[in-house]
Structures are given as structure tokens and as C-alpha cells.
Amino acid sequence: MTIDPGLSKTSLLSHDERLDRLAEIAIRVGLQLRAGQELVLTAPVDALPLVRRITEHAYKAGASLVTTLYSDDETTLARFRHAPDESFDRASGWLYDGMAAAFRSGAARLAVIGEDPSLLSGQDSQKVARANRARSAAYKPALELIVGFDINWSIVSYATPAWAKAVFPDDPAPVALARLWDAIFAASRVDGPDPVAAWKQHNAALNARTSLLNDKRFSALHFQGPGTDLTVGLADDHWWEGGASTAKNGIVCNANIPTEEVFTTPHRLRVDGTVRSTKPLSYQGTLIEDIAVRFEGGRIVESSARTGADVLAKVLATDEGARRLGEVALVPHSSPISHSGILFYNTLFDENAASHIALGQAYTKCIRDGDKLTPPQLTEKGANTSLIHIDWMIGSDQINVDGIRGDGGREPLMRGGEWA
């Protein structure tokens, strides 16, 4: 499926109908919410029209309670402009403890995102880093339950004016917003005759790819292209995932809407070489462009970026695990999101346009029987631990990927960004 920026001209559905379908996909595909489950929902205030529809579909699916927490760009900026210095070492631990408690009691998690990619780019980078570090530490109990797939969780997007202007800066605001909505709807498989069936078919294709990779049992991946010569050792007993997967609570969910990736866990000590980003990383309101790093023994020992280098350096200083990898993912350059030709400045979309790696916390689900292993046992297998999990893109039509077997033999996996 190719994203057509002019799709709204030919779609037989109104914007409200498409928005309602996106809400239905979030509940029936993203979460597969069960009757009796609570839902914890976070969203920007701009996304209220989608939140209302999601809430309606959640209750129709039998949700026992939907609790929504809203964020707002202007109030976020007010903190950085006017709060006392000591504010930036604080986070709402009580809130995140409550979210973790909700997850432990069986609640599902849905995030609606649509942030301004450069919201904090003009703010003090030290304050931004301190605030992010405090939030990461406070959020860790809840994050561990998410990355461990203890619960069914998902992420969907809402087109906001600030995000749309960043993606289509030369268009008038209404046109930019309409184009971004078209791209979101297309990537989320909203416009077909049966979106839920379309997602079932797409998940089956991704599952076939993960089955092939799990049968191969490669010990490492080798990425090579302009500025990149990187060997990513894979964790012992690693397991590939992609599309829909089963959480520990037994519910099959799609964690990302949209998704085009298959991914697994690298070995925290077995990553070596150099790698350059192929798309900008929008992180907590700062745009980090042209990232270049060098790994030795699994750890980043050199790093640079054309913009946002100071924020990148502070991210890497979050904790010991922030300099190591928690995920490696393969995405063909011909993915629908890549074919759109749109740079979204949003990781949820841009990571599904290109192969990528993630700094920080590993998905323990990507270790065979990871749910039965203790933290020390997971570490022994190679899984990384950190307060962060940040994806950034390293794939393009100039990147080749080989799978390396345990005996050192090599097999082409991708050539020119496409499956070989």
C-alpha cells in the first residue's frame, strides 16, 4: 500500500468516519481490549476528538473504566520558561507509580501521540536533560511492564497543527494538516473496505518474516553502507517479533499503529563498528540530526550529531545502559511509509520507514522464555537494562544487511534496503 498525500480527494469516507475507524483500530487491533479491562490513555489536548471516539469504542468492547491523562505543549513550555531551577530534577512519581499499579492490576495502555517535533529546541538543554532523566527514573516501574509486554499496549497518532507544519512547512496550515491526516490514515490502513481484516493480513505477512528469521538463528547482523559498518551481535536465545504479538496476559496486541518492522534483542556486549543515522530523531521536543556513533564491546565510545548533539550527549549519560542497544529492527526501504516520501519527524512513523536500532532498555519478550527468567538471567543472555528506550533510523536504499551464522558463514538479508 502506497501513501498518497492527496488521498482525501478520492476517499469515499469523511474525515470523521476515518477518525472513527482509527479509533476502532486502536481498540480492536492495537489493544484487542478485553471485556472487563481498564484502559489508561494518554493524549495531547488537541487529540480530544480522537480520544472521545477511542473511549466510545473501548466501552463498546466492554472496558470497565477508561482514564485519560492529557498533555499540553503550552503548559510544557511554561515550565521551562518560568519554573524554578530545582523543578527540573522532579517528576510526578506518584502518577507513574499509579500507572504501574494499574498495569499490575490488568489495565491496558494506549498512547495517542502528536507532539511538536521541535517544541523544546529553543530551551536550555541542561534543563531538558534533567527533566527527561527525572521522568525516566520515575517512569521506570511502568516502563518495565510495557517493554516486558506484561500488558497489552499500543500507540496511535493524531495530526496536530504544529506537527503538520513541521512535516509540510511550505503548505498553508489547513493544507498541511489535511496532508498529514491523509498520511496517518493510509499508514494505519484506515481506508480499505475492512481495516480490521487488512491488519490481519498484514500481521500474517510480518509473522511469516519473523518465522523465517527465527528458523535461521543468526548470531549477528552486519549493516554496511555510507558511514555505516556495524556488527550487531544478537542476544543468546533471541527471538524475532513483528506485527501482532501475545502479551504475558494472553492478549494479542499490535504495539505500534502503524508498523512495518520485525525486531529482536541485540547482545549488550557484542556490538562493534560505526553507524550513521539516515533520518532525524525527534526526541522530547528536540530534533537530533545526522547522528554518528562508534561502538566497542557493545558500548558507544564516540558520538556526534549535526544538530542536538548536546541533547544526544546527555541522553547517553542517562545511565550505563543508555550507551548500549536494546533493540535492532529490519524494515524494507519499500515500506508504505518510506514510499510516501514523507519525513514525519516522529519516531513511530519514521522507524517504520527504515531499519533502526534503539538505545537502552531491551524487550525481554525478544528472549525465548524471557518471561520466566530473572533480571540477572536476562542480563546473562545479553539483554540490556536502562531508564530509556530510544529508536533511531539507520536504514536506507544504500544499506546492505547480512545475517552471520554461528560458524561465521554469511547470508544476504537485505540489499539496497530490500529483502534479499
Place of cell 542476544: 235
Q: What structural domains and CATH numbers belong to the chain?
A: 7-187 (3.40.1830.10), 219-237+261-419 (no CATH)
pLDDT at 1: 32
Burial 36-55 (b: 16+ CB within 10 A, else e): ebbbbbbbbebbeebbebbb
DSSP 153-190: EEEEE---HHHHHHHSTTS-HHHHHHHHHHHHHHHTT-
Q: What are 155's strand-pairing partners?
A: 111, 256
Q: Provide the H-helix boundaries in 217-355.
A: 309-316, 336-339, 347-350
Q: How far apart are CA 60 and CA 58, in angstroms?
A: 5
Q: What is the pLDDT along the chain (420 residues), one digit of tens a residue?
A: 333 333 334 468 999 999 999 999 999 999 999 999 999 999 999 999 999 999 999 999 999 999 999 999 999 999 999 999 999 999 999 999 999 999 999 999 999 999 898 898 889 989 998 998 999 899 999 999 998 899 999 999 999 999 999 999 999 999 999 999 999 999 999 999 999 999 999 999 999 999 999 999 999 999 999 999 999 999 999 999 999 989 999 999 999 999 999 999 999 999 999 999 999 998 877 889 999 999 999 999 999 999 999 989 999 999 999 999 999 999 999 999 998 999 899 889 999 999 999 999 998 889 999 888 999 999 999 999 998 999 999 999 999 999 999 999 999 999 999 999
pLDDT at 326: 97
pLDDT at 212: 95
pLDDT at 406: 94
Q: How far apart are CA 205 and CA 211, in angstroms?
A: 10
C-alpha torsion sign, points 385, 124, 43, 190: negative
pLDDT at 354: 93
pLDDT at 7: 37
CB burial of residue 398 (10 Å; 0-12, 13-18, 19+): middle
Place of cell 499508514: 187
